[in-house]
């Protein structure tokens, strides 16, 4: 057993060294056969502005304290905007639809705010950005706040983005979970699952239980008004009111936190997994379920031959959605994340999920891309965007370094704003 453990440790270290040499050496490439090149520096959101000091400032802050920090920083930026003649960040208070003055958070009644940038009069797009849906994933709120502050600063690309559409940010979807650092799970019927998503129960008996059960992960996943609490119903009503009924795209940011230990290969060293919220017909979904995923070089070779055979139907899931414009958009988002020098969930990490015990994985439709995400079918969880019926992407950042996870979140945000808001097709020469 010690020899096996030692072999696994050496293998992890070798893979991580190879990946870090790529990232730390400022080299990245679009795919296995592309040339190596430096990561691009974005004029929209500079992902290197997020620092460990900024993350630590809010890592274990209460929701009340974080609200003070974000309102103060946004007011400071708005003062600069007024001086420079730029558009300011709009601050909206989420109204309690049951008539209360705020929401019960940490034994207090506290207000909750969202923030809006851009053209709300005649927008070509309406993007909703959600973070900290799971209370234990509170670092994401700081990363998203950093993105808001940068987008309000001068810059030709920023002006162009904000002239074309509007962006609504909710950095802390679940204030109570933010305070408690907890999360949980529910079924599609709104009932609590006895076993949390990872560990300790019938769904995944091999893993320990790190989470509680009473937070917004539960409420966001409930698809009936009777099962939703007042904050969830108020959030949803607020999004619809500010965005004129509906968002054209939603980005729901998540992270896998430090306490997740197994399998180390995926959860410690993996990159960004993209969970696509695209809604397919029952016929197409059934076809996807009948096909295998194109993992391994020989399947890729077979797929290539099959693509050039007009008499044969698709062999793999990736082929069935190849020409779907929504899938092409998500692929461009994934490629942009790589251009910014951040890892996605490459095939070598994706394979590690095969070792998760007793888990029925959701549909892998492209490298790093799933429909609905993995691990959610046994507990029957609905992600927040699915409850709202919105198309877009949920990302899960796996790298266990806090700063890297924050940079992955900012890279995912930048990529989606660029692709969805600016119709980005890729770097010149690709």
Encode pLDDT of 277-290 as tens digits: 887 777 777 777 77
What would the pLDDT profile of 122-153 be if each residue is shown by its tens digit? Answer: 999 999 999 988 777 778 899 999 999 999 99
| DSSP annotation string for 361-406 | --EEEETTEEES-TT-TTTTPPPHHHHHT--EEEEEE---SHHHHH
Task: Give the pLDDT band of residue 156 (cuts 50, 70, 90).
Answer: very high
Tell the burial category of 104 from Cβ atoms under 10 Å away from its Cβ (0-12, 13-18, 19+): middle
Helix residue ranges, H only, 198-352: 216-220, 230-242, 264-269, 282-290, 297-307, 317-320, 325-339, 347-350
Task: Give the pLDDT band of residue 38 (cuts 50, 70, 90).
Answer: confident
Termini Cα distance of the chain: 47
State which fold the 27-259+390-422 domain adopts: Aminopeptidase (3.40.630)
Q: What is the mean pLDDT of residues 241-250?
A: 90
Structure tokens at 377: 């079918």
Can you say whether residue 87 is alpha, beta or left, with left for phi > 0 and alpha for psi between -120 and 50 degrees?
beta
Residue 122, number of CB atoms within 10 A of its CB: 8
Sorted by where each begins, the domain ranges of the chain are: 27-259+390-422
| DSSP annotation string for 190-202 | SPBPSS-SSSSSS
Residue 67 confidence (pLDDT)? 94
Residue 345 vs residue 20, higher pLDDT = 345
Residue 350 confidence (pLDDT)? 63
Query: Under 8 Å CB-to-CB from 134, ≥6 apart: which residues?
Result: 174, 177, 183, 215, 216, 217, 254
Residue 257 confidence (pLDDT)? 61
- Residues 380 and 253: their CA atoms lie apart, in Å, by 20
Residue 400 confidence (pLDDT)? 67
Residue 262 vs residue 8, higher pLDDT = 8
Helix (H) or strand (E) holding 110: strand 108-110
| pTM exceeds 0.85 for this model | no
Query: Under 8 Å CB-to-CB from 11, ≥6 apart: which residues?
Result: 265
What would the pLDDT profile of 391-418 be if each residue is shown by its tens digit? Answer: 888 888 877 678 888 899 999 999 999 9
What average pLDDT is seen over the chain?
A: 75
What would the pLDDT profile of 67-88 be if each residue is shown by its tens digit? Answer: 999 999 999 999 999 988 888 9
The answer to whether the beta carbons of residues 402 and 140 sit under 8 Å apart is no
Lowest mean per-residue pLDDT among 112-116, 207-211, 283-287: 207-211
Cis peptide bond N-terminal to 152, omega within 30: no
Work out whether strand 369-371 and strand 363-366 pair parallel, antiparallel, or are unpaired. Answer: antiparallel
Residue 115 confidence (pLDDT)? 97
- Residues 380 and 359: their CA atoms lie apart, in Å, by 12
Residue 211 confidence (pLDDT)? 35
Residue 72 confidence (pLDDT)? 96
Q: Pick from 74, 22, 1: which is nearest to 342 by CA? A: 22
Residue 230 confidence (pLDDT)? 81
Residue 348 confidence (pLDDT)? 65
Residue 201 scores a pLDDT above 60: no
Residue 255 confidence (pLDDT)? 83
Residue 297 confidence (pLDDT)? 67
Task: Give the pLDDT band of residue 212 (cuts 50, 70, 90).
Answer: very low
Residue 200 confidence (pLDDT)? 35
Structure tokens at 164: 């074309």
Lowest mean per-residue pLDDT among 154-158, 210-214, 387-391: 210-214
Residue 213 scores a pLDDT above 80: no
The answer to whether the beta carbons of residues 412 and 254 sit under 8 Å apart is no
Distances from the Cα of 155 to the Cαs of 116, 122, 148, in angstroms? 18, 21, 14
Residue 218 scores a pLDDT above 90: no
Task: Give the pLDDT band of residue 59 (cuts 50, 70, 90).
Answer: confident
> Angle between the 139-151 and 63-84 helix axes, to the nearest 10 degrees?
10
Classified as helix, coil or strand, 123 is: coil
Residue 166 confidence (pLDDT)? 96
Lowest mean per-residue pLDDT among 7-11, 25-29, 115-119: 25-29
């Amino acid at each position: 057993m010690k020899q096996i453990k030692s072999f696994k440790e050496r293998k992890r270290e070798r893979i991580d060294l190879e990946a870090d040499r790529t990232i730390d050496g400022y080299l990245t490439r679009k795919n296995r056969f592309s040339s190596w090149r430096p990561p691009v520096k974005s004029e929209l959101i500079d992902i290197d502005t997020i620092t460990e000091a900024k993350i630590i400032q809010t890592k274990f802050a209460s929701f009340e304290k974080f609200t003070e920090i974000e309102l103060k920083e946004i007011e400071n930026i708005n003062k600069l905007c007024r001086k420079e003649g730029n558009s300011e960040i709009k601050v909206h208070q989420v109204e309690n639809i049951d008539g209360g003055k705020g929401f019960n958070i940490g034994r207090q009644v506290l207000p909750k705010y969202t923030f809006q940038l851009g053209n709300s009069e005649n927008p070509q797009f309406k993007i909703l950005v959600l973070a900290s849906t799971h209370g234990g994933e509170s670092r994401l709120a700081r990363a998203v706040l950093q993105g808001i502050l940068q987008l309000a600063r001068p810059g030709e690309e920023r002006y162009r983005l904000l002239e074309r559409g509007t962006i609504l940010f909710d950095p802390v979807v679940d204030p109570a979970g933010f305070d408690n650092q907890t999360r949980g799970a529910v079924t599609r019927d709104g009932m609590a699952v006895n076993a949390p998503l990872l560990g300790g129960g019938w769904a995944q008996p091999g893993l320990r239980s790190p989470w509680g059960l009473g937070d917004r992960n539960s409420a966001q996943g409930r698809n009936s008004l009777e099962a939703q609490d007042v904050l969830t119903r108020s959030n949803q009503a607020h999004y619809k009111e500010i965005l004129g009924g509906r968002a054209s795209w939603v980005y729901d940011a998540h992270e896998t936190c430090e306490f997740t230990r197994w399998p180390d290969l995926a959860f410690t060293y993996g990159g960004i997994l993209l969970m696509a919220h695209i809604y397919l017909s029952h016929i197409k979904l059934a076809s996807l379920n009948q096909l295998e995923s194109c993992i391994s070089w020989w399947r890729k070779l077979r797929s290539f031959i099959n693509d050039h055979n007009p008499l044969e139907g698709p062999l793999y899931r990736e082929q069935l959605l190849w020409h779907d414009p929504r899938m092409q958009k998500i692929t461009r988002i994934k490629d942009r994340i790589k251009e910014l020098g951040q890892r996605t969930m490459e095939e070598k990490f994706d394979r590690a999920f095969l070792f998760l015990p007793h888990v029925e994985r959701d549909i892998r439709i492209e490298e790093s891309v799933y429909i609905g995400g993995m691990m959610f079918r046994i507990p029957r969880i609905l992600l927040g965007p699915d409850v709202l019926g919105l198309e877009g992407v949920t990302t899960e950042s796996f790298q266990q370094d806090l700063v890297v996870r924050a940079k992955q979140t900012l890279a995912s945000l930048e990529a989606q704003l660029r692709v969805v808001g600016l119709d980005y097709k890729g770097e010149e020469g690709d």
